[in-house]
Amino acid sequence: MSNYLVLDVEAQNPVVKQHVKRVANRTYRLPEFQRTFVWDNDRVLKLWDSLYRGFPIGQLMLWKPDSEDFPMRGLGRNQAELQSNGQCEAIIDGQQRLTALYLVLTGDIRLRFDLERDRFTYSEGENCLRLDVLRDLDGRPIEFDDAAGRQFFNRHATEAQRSTFGLVIDHLNGILTERQLPSQLIKSANYATVLGVFKRLNQQGEPLNEAQLTLAGISPHWPGVFRRTYSLLLRMNSEMGFDRADDPTFVFQVWTAVHTQQHLIRHLAPEDERSKYKRLVDQRLYEDSWSRTERGISSLIEIMQRDLDLTNFQFIKAYYPLQVVAHYLASHDEPSDEEIKSLRRWLILSLVSGRYHESALSKYGADIKATTEKKSLQDLFSHKGNVLDPAIVQTTLVDTDRLLSATFRSAYVTLLYLISRQLEATDWMKTEIKVGEQLEDGPWHFHHIFPDERFDGERARLRDELEDAQSRGDHEVARTLEQERQRLEDRVASVANLAFLIPPTNQSIGNRAPIDYLAELASTPSGRKALESQLVPLDPDLWKQPAFELFRRRRCELIVAKAKELFF
């Protein structure tokens, strides 16, 4: 007789509206091992388009638990925890698809259907039909049965639209009323078994990252871990502009270090019974290490806000330094003012030096070992010969020649941002907006002071010479020209040519010559102050295109001088 467990699975074929109704009335719920909703608007549109055109979108996997003795959440943006009602079905696979359907119907995602062009859109033209049938014309929510009684997408259509596009609207309604979305319902299985199914399905679909899988592994041992994790992430997002609030990796790397005193996330919830970290899989131990993790991250946020004014993750090129400091603060009770000062200097140098650019994981692991509760801060500065003591390296890490070779992609962007915040730098046209403030119209733009297009003539010359060398078969000259072309691109994209502007200002400047628009800005006191706050040289002779290299060097000198004055 076989010892293998055979799941009791029932095949079902509901139409889409039946699934949506179960989402709306909270029959469908999310067990704790599920992640948040992560689809972007483009994926939502493609799902609806696939349903409209009859393309396959896969089946769902559900679970009918015998009891709800673990946290369950509703589907949607908020995903609030729900009280047990004994009637739920847990979503094992299909959360993203069901949520994408539901959020369009509630208007939380403002998808429309262009009746004239026969396509879904996020525009709001004359014949772009509203799809939020679970809201009335004034935006108030309505019951699902009310929307069904008014024939779904007909409720927001005008009489003229119903007359002209009646067949199209009927086809839209068919998405909900006729299109089947098959599901498999697992019955009489325990949490651990279903968690195994979830992990197996994850390998086939859109994969969870290591932190998300680890969260799922912890959930049977510590109910409530999901809400604690994402509450902390949401706080980081609201206070620090941390735009990865659906990804627990940052938090879990700190938590792993606190809980296990090493750096590999998988050891936070090992599956192998032989693992030496298995003894740490304990709710009491998790709660204790989590409390210290929250304390460390809170202290890190305080330092970033109070001491560095580093309040926007968009300008941070590496997270490892932040996680190391958070681990130190979590592992050491009440660090002294001198320790905080040293940590701050180390953090700045690590952020701007590209410390983890090479051998990142091994260096990070060494840094975590150097910041355990039994070690002093000096271990962080000098472990394994990787000296990062400010007294030794500040003169080599922050100098003009090094900065000249740094591009927009380098960690020196963080240094420029830190200086800009200390100088209360602003946008150049909307001078009431400080650099790094959260914007409603998207992230800050990295503006080329000498616009990219201004170098097209030099690019064309190099391209022509390269083609000529290649046609002659002169490979040595061709290699030299390729290297020259790359150096040109690096110079154009150098930190010395970078400014932080809001999108409308960047678009307004466009490809205007610096001698033109910088002179215009510098003609007013507010514009001149805005340029000075981002350390733009104010000598008009340096704004001319032939003076680009002199401009870059002079600006690097200003940045280096100000960095040493402020931080070292």
Tens of pLDDT along 481-531?
999 999 999 999 999 999 999 999 999 999 999 999 999 999 999 999 999
In this structure, is residue 3 part of a structural domain?
A: no
| pLDDT exceeds 90 at position 398 | no
Interatomic CA distance for residues 190 and 272, integer angstroms: 20
Instruction: Specify the pLDDT at position 83.
Output: 85
Residues 164-182, mean pLDDT to the nearest whole number: 93
**Residue 373 and residue 238 share a domain:** yes
Q: Which two tokens stand for residue 114?
A: 């262009």
> Is residue 163 located within the same domain as residue 48?
yes
49 shares its domain with 118:
yes
pLDDT tens digits for range 77-88: 888 888 887 789
Specify if 93 maps to a domain.
Answer: yes
Residue 419 lies in a domain: yes
Using pLDDT thresholds of 50, 70 and 90, give the confidence band for residue 119.
very high
In DSSP terms, 62 is beta-bridged to 91, 185
What pLDDT is recorded for position 426? 97
Per-residue confidence (pLDDT) for residue 2, from 0 to 100: 45
26 Rama sector, left if φ>0, alpha if ψ -120 to 50, beta otherwise: left
93 residue type, one letter:
D
Whether residue 72 lies inside any domain: the answer is: yes
Q: Which domain holds residue 313?
A: 209-387
Residue 395 placed within a domain: no
5 falls in which pLDDT band (50, 70, 90)? Answer: low
In a shared domain, residues 300 and 427: no
Residue 284 pLDDT greater than 90, yes or no: yes
Q: Do 369 and 297 belong together in one domain?
A: yes
Q: Rounded to whole angstroms, what are the CA distances from 97 to 26, 45, 113?
A: 16, 11, 18
Domain count of the fold of the chain: 3
Nearest-angstrom CA–CA distance, 563 and 561:
6
Residue 310 pLDDT > 90 = no
* pLDDT of 204: 61
DSSP-derived secondary structure for 116-129:
TTTEEES---TTEE
- Report the relative pairing of strands 89-93 and 60-64 from DSSP bridges: antiparallel
* In a shared domain, residues 361 and 218: yes
Looking at 125, 157, 187, the residue that finishes a domain is 187
* 561 pLDDT higher than 90: yes
Six-digit token pair at 423?
Answer: 């100088």
Identify the CA nearest to 44 among candidates 128, 106, 125, 135.
Answer: 106
Same domain, residue pair 410 and 370: no
Residues 183, 217, single domain; the answer is no
Higher pLDDT residue, 531 or 439?
Answer: 531
Residue 395 binned pLDDT confidence (cut-offs 50, 70, 90): low
3-state DSSP percent of the chain in helix, strand and coil, to 5: 55, 10, 35
| Identity of the amino acid at 158 | T
375 and 275 together in one domain: yes
The answer to the question of residue 203 being in a domain is no
Same structural domain, 163 and 218: no
Last residue of a domain, one of 332, 359, 387: 387
92: helix, strand or coil? strand
When the pLDDT of each residue in the chain is averaged and rounded to a whole number, the result is 89
48/154 same-domain check: yes
Q: Pick from 387, 413, 433: which residue ends a domain?
A: 387
Q: Is residue 202 part of a domain?
A: no
Q: Which helix (H) or strand (E) holds 311?
A: none
* Inside any domain, residue 469: no
Determine whether 298 is exposed, middle or buried from the number of CB atoms within 10 Å of its CB (0-12, 13-18, 19+): middle
Burial of 368 by CB count in 10 Å (0-12 exposed, 13-18 middle, 19+ buried)?
buried
366 shares its domain with 503: no
Q: What is the DSSP string of 424-435?
A: T-B-SSSTTSBT
